[in-house]
Amino acid sequence: MRKAILAAGLTLALGVPALAQDNEAFVEARGAQMSANGAAAGAAGGMLKGEIPYNAAVAKAALATLDATARTFGLMFPEGATSDEAAPDIWSDRAGFDAEIVKFQEASAAAVEASGKDGPADLDAFKAAAQPVLGTCKSCHEKYRLDD
C-alpha cells in the first residue's frame, strides 16, 4: 500500500508543473482528490457511527487516502483556478487557506503514524486518529468551500 500511495503522490507532484498552464486541469485534479476523500470519509464515518463494522485495513486505507491528498491539495489552487465549489476566500485569504492545509497535513500525518502498519487496533484507536483529520476537513469547508 505504501508503494501505491508514494506512486500516487509522486504522480501528483510531478504532474503539478504540467498543470500550471491549465487551470481547468487543476479544477479537475482537485475534484478527483475530493472524490477520493469523500469515499475515504464515508468509510471512516460509517465505522465511527457504527453503520459498518470496524475494519483495521479499511481504516488504514481511509487515513492513507486523506494523507495522500493532504500532501498536494494546497498546490491545486493556483490563482485563477476557480470553480463552483471553491470560495473566493481561498485566494483573498491565502494565508488562512494555507494554514488550514497545514492543519490537514499535520493531522493526517499523525493519524497515519498512529495507525501503525496494520491500521488502528480498534474502533477507539481509529476514533482518536480519524476525528482530528475529519475536523480539519470540516473547518476548511466551512470557510473555503461553497455549497453545491
Determine the pLDDT at residue 19: 45
Q: Per-residue pLDDT averaged across 99-111, rounded?
A: 97
Strand partners, 145: 86
Which cell numbers hold the place of 90? Answer: 481561498
* Rounded Cα gap, residues 70 and 93, in angstroms: 19
Spatial contact of 41 and 101, defined as CB atoms under 8 Å apart: no
Q: pLDDT for 61-84, tens place per residue?
A: 999 999 999 999 999 999 999 999
Which cell numbers hold the place of 65? Answer: 487516502
Closest by CA position to 66, among listed 139, 144, 132: 132
* Domains in the chain, CATH or no CATH each: 2-144 (1.20.120.10)
Secondary structure (H, E, C), 86-124 = ECCHHHHCHHHHHHHHHHHHHHHHHHHHHHCCCCCCCHH
Q: Per-residue pLDDT averaged across 46-73, rounded?
A: 97
Q: pLDDT for 110-131, tens place per residue?
A: 999 999 999 999 999 999 999 9
Does residue 18 have a pLDDT over 80?
A: no
DSSP class of residue 83 equals -
**Phi first, then psi: what are they for 49, rounded to 5°?**
-85, -5
Q: Per-residue pLDDT averaged across 72-99, rounded?
A: 95
Spatial contact of 26 and 77, defined as CB atoms under 8 Å apart: yes
